[in-house]
Chain A
Amino acid sequence: MNSLANTTPEMLVISPENGVLLAFRRDYRLAMRSRGEIIQALVFFVIVVSLFPLAVGAESALLKRIAPGVVWVAALLSVLLTLPRIFASDYADGTLEQLAMSPYPMATIAAGKMLAHWFTTGLPLALVAPVLGVQFGLGTSELGVIVASLMLGTPVLSMIGAIGAALTLGVRGGSILMALLVLPLYIPVLIFGAGAVEASMAGIDYAANLSLLGAGLLLGALASPFAVAAAVKISLD
């Protein structure tokens, strides 16, 4: 019937967890109903990565050296392109306003939405990345580090991106503006993510980079729902 159809009675109890859960289930289901969009983001990721050998030449030593950066920049760009999915259609048809008026705190809805976004963009990217790594001649252990760094880093991209997406809702030239706001804030994630892979390639301890990504993830998980909720409220006013 509607997205509440298989909601159990205890889920209707107003609590922060249920807010996260409801928003997550709703967005996840909507994303799964248009799988094409998820696949398009992945294809975009693969195409961007494949452009680099064509641009810089097929010399395997060079390709191996630039692989971490290339994979990470491409992942970052594909996440960037999917950011409007978090709020734009809900904003356009008024759903976002209804969600804001629901008894669930906006921060919990924001958290659920970010989680659903990560499940449908960051996670698939992290799972596809090893294939691209193989194309660039990375070894098994490096492929493991690339997956780990993307697993830890892409949720942060979803969180920071959600703030930019919420602030630019309904704004003229929104998507390019959003990129302008979000990309500088993505830089630390890019540095630590690509840095972890480079460290493992150089035989240095890469745990520090992964720890920093994890710290960023925790900080983002704590702070971003409130920042996103504030941004949504500003845009709805």
Chain B
Amino acid sequence: MSIFKYASPSTFYPLAGKIAPWFAVVAAMLGAVGLYLGLFRAPVDFQQGEVYRIIFIHVPAAWMAMLIYLVMAAYGVMALTFNTRLSSMMMEALAPTGAMFTVLALWTGALWGKPTWGTFWAWDARMTSTLILLFLYVGYLALINAIDDKKRADKAGALLVIVGSVNVPIIYFSVKWWNTLHQGYSVATSGSSMDPSMRMPMLVMTFACWAYAIAVALWRVRAIILEREKEAAWVANLYVASPPKTSGARA
């Protein structure tokens, strides 16, 4: 079996349909466990009180926001080097989830910042670079939606995300140095490591978000495949009452 077997939309479509529910179940279970541990079992922070519990969603969301962009860049490299349509479809399927996590990270960060720092928004290096990451997601989505020719949209989006991913570390460090130059604002991140009872729920929630992202991306890519391949014979066969067994699976 070639590793490229599932690079074809017609073979990936049923596979995605089979595995997506499992990831959804894992996400729901881990999410329930993580929220229980985080909201009921983790101790109250001696400095911040209850409000710190927002990190159990904030930190996983921020991590996923960055990870999904990097995964999109990896798919972008595959799309341009192997010329696989499915890679571009995966990029398109991942982008809205990545943007959603970025918004979630910013939103929860603001909600945490108000009671803790006394302000919804500070031009802190991490907040600023996350905001720029959101701009990159929006730019990608705007570009692929503006181009009518799907093939061109795929490749343009792939190139944009690759260029953007080269820029992500540069942006991060530039913002970080800018921040130290401009203002003496320092986030009081405690130097000591987190207590395991607080770290555990955060890790569980991270895996929950991860599984959620995979499940949603797989479902979304199924929709994208159907939309793009609607003229193909194998798609037509999906909706025939009893698909003829002898016909080829591929158009």
Contacts and interface: CB of A to CB of B under 8 A. Distances in A.
A168 interface: yes
A170 to B, nearest CB: 9
A174 B142 CA distance: 10
Contacts of A152: none
Contact of A185 (B142, B143, B167, B181): B167
Contacts of B163: 160, 163, 185, 227
A74 interface: no
B36 interface: no
A185 B147 CA distance: 21
A181 interface: yes
Given A167-B143, A167-B160, A234 B155 contact: yes
B152 A195 contact: no
Chain B CB within 10 Å, residue with most, of A184, A195, A216: A184
A191 B178 contact: yes
Given A173-B146, A191-B175, A234 B156 contact: yes
B139 A184 contact: yes
A4 interface: no
A81 interface: no
A212 to B, nearest CB: 8
Contacts, number: 75
A173 B147 CA distance: 10
A183 B152 CA distance: 22
B22 interface: no
A185 B177 contact: no
Contacts of B177: 191, 195
A199 B181 contact: yes
A171 B152 CA distance: 11
A230 interface: yes
A131 B226 CA distance: 59
B174 A180 contact: no
Contacts of A167: 143, 156, 159-160
Interface in A135-170: 160, 163, 167-168
> Which range contains the number of A residues in contact with the other chain?
20 to 34
B7 interface: no
What band does the interface of chain B fall in when counting residues whose beta carbon is under 8 Å from A? 20 to 34
A91 to B, nearest CB: 13
**Chain A interface mostly helix, strand, loop or mixed?**
helix
Contact of A187 (B80, B146, B147, B174): B174
Given A177-B143, A195-B181, A198-B181, A184 B152 contact: no
Given A167-B159, A237-B152, A184 B143 contact: no
Interface in B135-194: 135-136, 138-139, 142-143, 146-148, 151-152, 155-156, 159-160, 163-164, 166-167, 170-171, 174-175, 177-178, 181
A177 B142 contact: yes
Nearest to A188: B174
Contacts of A180: 135, 138-139, 142
Given A167-B160, A195-B181, A231-B159, A188 B171 contact: yes
Contacts of A98: none
Contacts of B181: 195, 198-199
B133 to A, nearest CB: 9
A184 B175 contact: no
A84 to B, nearest CB: 15
A33 interface: no
Interface of A: 160, 163, 167-168, 171-174, 177, 180-181, 183-185, 187-188, 191-192, 195, 198-199, 212, 216, 223, 227, 230-231, 234-235, 237
11 contacts: A168-B146, A171-B146, A172-B146, A172-B148, A184-B132, A184-B136, A187-B132, A187-B175, A199-B181, A230-B80, A237-B152
Given A172-B148, A185-B164, A234-B156, 9 more contacts: A163-B160, A171-B143, A180-B135, A180-B142, A181-B142, A181-B143, A185-B163, A231-B156, A237-B155
* In the A-B complex, the 4 residue pairs with the closest CB atoms: A188-B174, A184-B135, A234-B155, A191-B178
